[in-house]
Amino acid sequence: MKTGIRLVWAVALLWLCQLAGAAAMSQSQIPTKFNIPFGNGAGGPYIRNIPQSSQIGIQNCAASLTDGFPPLTFVPAAAGGCPPFGQDMNGILRQITQWNVWMQAVSGLPYDAAFSAAVSGYPKGAIVQSTVLQGRLWYSTADNNTTNPDSTAGSSAGWIVLPGTYAPGVPIPVLSASSPPPNAVPANGLTVGNASSNATNRANTDTFWLFSFLWSNCSSCVLYNSSGSVVSRGASAAADFAANYAVQALNLNGTALVGADSMAGTTSSLLANAPVVSGSRTVPGSILGENQHQLTGAELPVTTPTFSGNAVTPTFSGNAVTPTFSGSTGTVNVSSTQPNIVVGPLTASTTGGGGFNFLWPAALGITVNSSGSFTPAGSVSTIVPSGAVSTITPSGSISSFGSNGAHNNVERSAVVYWYLSL
């Protein structure tokens, strides 16, 4: 009986000690982990699983999750009681510490290389805190995962940033310059690298994941050595990071975000005519467009200009011309006492009397009839004026339009500070 009571008090004292230690907690005071459950190697006769249902009336003094240690274990044997079973003590402590071991792996405690080795690697779904980047949570995608998620040597296989949190390189919009997001750097075109890289944006080990993201996914992000000279990409992001190189972050000053023309495995032509500053319209991280654009002649709409001025009547300046007649002329004297008047060779004859006819040679083409009318044969000369029509010079001008200034292309936008997640 005394042994059973001592065991109960020992368990209670253990919990009290743990609670007392938790009164002023800091990360450096994380208790020693259970690498294996309590009684992990105990044989069958010395340990048993604790049932949920009460064992009263089934097996006297046996423990259960319902009763714990039943009332008889607190009664002296002389009074009809019985001590608790040692198998139950081992069983309940094993059951509790099995969950301790599991929770140590999945509850978001800092990554522990010694614990990882002791339990043969973290399980799939385990969540651990980064020991390098404050607030970063790593999620294991594989069972028996013995790799270090904080490794900057490119050996952190089987870990991803906890889904639902910011992955490296994600643009984060912020409305206040005085409240930058944690674990992020401004997207201002300056560089990131390790502490020896002389990076102009942030030079720290915690930039490794953003460095790797930009190195792998942003072909237009220039790489520099620690002296500030442009260099080509090496064998891997990890190698270049270790070589103290710095990579240029995206410059999102005055820049909005737009979907690529190649999302979900398809290619559209919505950005086909957009000017490309760097990269291409189908590659994320490229820069397209311009905030202002000076229109070319081909980009102007068809326009009909209007004329404003005074009407002008043209004038003629030259010499007056009198037309002349060229032909046969003659004088005819008529006397009623003369019976015949013949001019030139006759072709016919007439006799005189009260009337008479003139007989003209047919070759002259002139006929005088008895009524006295005279039709000359000939023509009037053509009139050719001498001079010129004055030149018409309109008075007025065609109105001009346009100022040859840049065309504003900025859509209605909300101004934010862009940051890139580390």
Q: What is the pLDDT of residues 310-344, one digit of tens each?
A: 766 777 677 766 676 666 555 454 444 444 444 44
Question: What's the pLDDT score for residue 393?
Answer: 67
Question: What's the pLDDT score for residue 275?
Answer: 84
Q: Kindly report the number of other CB atoms within 10 A of residue 359's CB atom.
A: 18
Question: What's the pLDDT score for residue 119?
Answer: 85
Contact 240, 246 (CB under 8 A): no
Q: Which residue has the higher pLDDT, 369 or 388?
A: 388
Kindly tell me if the per-residue pLDDT of 418 is higher than 50: yes
Kindly tell me if the per-residue pLDDT of 76 is higher than 60: yes
CA angle 403–405–408, rounded 5-degree value: 125
Question: What's the pLDDT score for residue 71?
Answer: 92
Q: What is the pLDDT of residues 216-255, one digit of tens each?
A: 988 889 999 999 999 999 999 999 999 999 999 988 888 8
Nearest residue to 243 via CA among 257, 229, 226: 226
Q: Which of 126-130, 221-225, 359-363 has the lowest mean pLDDT?
A: 359-363
The mean pLDDT of 200-216, rounded to a whole number, is 93
The mean pLDDT of 147-165, rounded to a whole number, is 83
Contact 91, 39 (CB under 8 A): yes
Structural domains present in the chain:
2-22+31-107 (no CATH), 108-165 (2.10.10), 167-259+274-294+409-422 (no CATH)
- What CA–CA distance (Å, rounded) separates 408 from 193? 37
Kindly tell me if the per-residue pLDDT of 7 is higher than 70: no
Q: How confident is the model at residue 108 (pLDDT cuts 50, 70, 90)?
A: confident
Q: Which of 4-13, 24-33, 402-411 has the lowest mean pLDDT?
A: 4-13
Return all residues near 213 (Cβ < 8 A) that are at least 6 apart: 167, 168, 169
Question: What's the pLDDT score for residue 401?
Answer: 67
Query: Which residues make beta-bridge pairs with 374?
Result: 368
The mean pLDDT of 176-203, rounded to a whole number, is 90
Distances (CA, A) of 214 to 171, 332, 420: 12, 122, 10
Question: What's the pLDDT score for residue 222?
Answer: 93
Q: Which residue has the higher pLDDT, 267 or 195?
A: 195
Distances (CA, A) of 13 to 8, 20, 237, 265: 9, 10, 52, 62
Kindly tell me if the per-residue pLDDT of 199 is higher than 90: yes
According to the per-residue pLDDT averaged within each range, which of 8-17, 207-216, 254-263 is highest?
Answer: 207-216
Instruction: For the chain, give the mean pLDDT.
Output: 77
